[in-house]
Each structure stands twice: as C-alpha cells, then as structure tokens.
Amino acid sequence: MSQTNKKIVESVPNYSEGTNADNVEKIVKEIKETPNTRIVNVQFDSDYNRAVITFVGTPKGVLEANLAAAEKAINLIDMNQHQGQHPSIGAVDVVPFDPAKNINMEECNELAVEFGKQIAEKDIPVYLYEESAKHFQRKDIDNIRVGEYEGLKESIKTNPDHKPDFGPRKFHPTAGATITGARKQLISFNINLGTKDLAIAKKVAKCIHNRTGGLCNIKAMGTQLEGRDCIQVGISNVDYRKTPLYRQMELVRIEAKRYGAPIVGTELIGVLPIDAVLNSLDFYLQIESPKQLQQKHLLEHYFDF
C-alpha cells in the first residue's frame, strides 16, 4: 500500500500514572518498540496523576501497541494507591481509537472492540464509549465514571446500569476497569486563571460544562495544581468542529472576568488539528479571504513511517 493510501489511526491512551517518570517511560517504551507506530506526544502530571500518550500508526500497529502498553501499565500501577485530580476508574483508564487518515469510524470501532475483548481476558471489566457504545448513555464517558474508582468498584457488582460490556462484574484487584471506544478527535485544552481561589475555577467550569447549561460538547472541571501553583479550568472538547476553541476560550474569559480573574495561560494536552487552529485564527484575525488559510492536518507530519 502506498504512503498516500495507508490507513492511519490516532490513539490517545490515558494511564493513571503521573508521579513516577520511570513507570511512564516503561509504558511509552512498549509503544515505541511496536512496528508501524510513531509517538507524537507524551505528557504526564503529578497533580492529575495521569499520563497521556498520543501516537499514530497502522490499524494493526496501534492495536498491538495499545495491548502491549496496557499490559505493562497493569503490572506497574496499583489503583489502591492512586490519588489524583482527574476522574479515573482504572490503571489503563481510557483508550480511544480515532480515525486519522484513509480509515473510517467503523474500522476504528472494530479495533476498540478487539482491544476491549483482549483486555477483558485479563480479568479487567471493560466499558465501550463514544461511537462504540452499545448503550446510548455510555456514549458520554461521564456516565461510565459515575462514582469514579471507589464508587464503581462497588456498584459494578449489583447495578445493572454499571454492568461492563466485556469482562467480569468486579474490578481487577489493582488495575480496576478500562474504557475504550472509537471517537472523533478530542481536544484537551486547559485554561489557567490568575487567581488563588479554586472556587472561581469551579464556578467557571460549571458555567461552560454542557451538563450544567454551558456549551455543547464541552466537559470542564476546576482544579488546583499544587505542583505548579496554578488554578486551572480543565476542558475536554469532544467535537471542536461544532464547538470551536475560540468559543470556549471567550466564554471562560467572560465568566472569569466576573470574579476578577484573568486568563494567564493555556495548556494543550496532546496534539491539535490544524483546522481547529485555523478556525480560531480566522475568528481572531478576521481575515477577509478564508482561502488564505490553507488547511492541512498537523498530524500528517507523523504519517510517514
């Protein structure tokens, strides 16, 4: 198959490890050593206690890399000792498969289902979300994470709404549970506020979160990052084409201003599609001719392997 027609999948697995750099590197190594994959970005944070690895590859390569990395993470991470700001239900918390080039959502769904089945063989309950969800309410990951690790650990045993799609109706003793699915590319774009008051960030997050009357496709939470002496509104945009970045940015600016808190910085987790950048560039610069903005996906630089 030519480079032009090669099928490319993006995956952004999230692991519940942000304090031990050696463990993160061991997980990353499993992906690096898998043929037909390329790592784009690695980020981990001690306050969130979370590692996010963005990589691309052929369908077979991405599936094999995720399985190898998951096995390593399962052996390294003990959820009984885990503490962090980010909601989580397992060592291998969520593993999405995103169509990047010459591949459709259904093919990514097949990868997610196969990944889920193989993880379940390790006595880990697996939930399907987004485009792979078998139940409508599970399209939204928040509905799966209700109660987070401690709560779901108990309710999975008896609550029919919390029965996993694959695997046992009990948590793995140390690895908990896993979420996987095919999805559109998600953008994690966090906004730092010039305040020491966590309550302000929580109020702003509530104003923009889709469930509390905010913007469609936006999930948000206010957090205090002690390691960086920072108050942050953590934001996940699950469909940036419908809810552009500039819209979430400006609504945060408006709501934070009510409390006298300016935006002092932003943080991107993973990579950013260039069309999302160009959309915001067009909004802020008000360029008369949109044709001047040539759209090309940022990830294409990583497709040649």
The stretches in the chain having pLDDT less than 70 are 1-4, 289-305
Q: Looking at residue 296, what is its pLDDT? A: 47
- Can 86 be counted among the known catalytic residues? yes
pLDDT at 149: 93
Structural domains of the chain, with CATH: 8-182 (3.30.990.10), 187-302 (3.30.70.670)
d(CA 222, CA 210): 14
At residue 274, the pLDDT reads 84
Angle ∠(129,148,272) on CA atoms, nearest 5:
50
Statement: the pTM of the whole predicted model exceeds 0.75: yes
Is residue 264 within 8 Å of residue 192, measured between CB atoms? yes
pLDDT at 292: 57
Q: How many CB atoms lie within 10 A of CB 131?
A: 19
Catalytic residue (one of 86, 162, 172, 297): 86
pLDDT of residue 2: 53
- Amino acid 271: pLDDT: 84
**pLDDT in the model for residue 82:** 94
What pLDDT was estimated at residue 117?
99
3-state SS string for 9-66: EEECCEECCCCCHHHHHHHHHHHHCCCCEEEEEEEEECCCCEEEEEEEECHHHHHHHH
Tokens matching residue 232: 């942050």
CA 75 to chain centre: 22
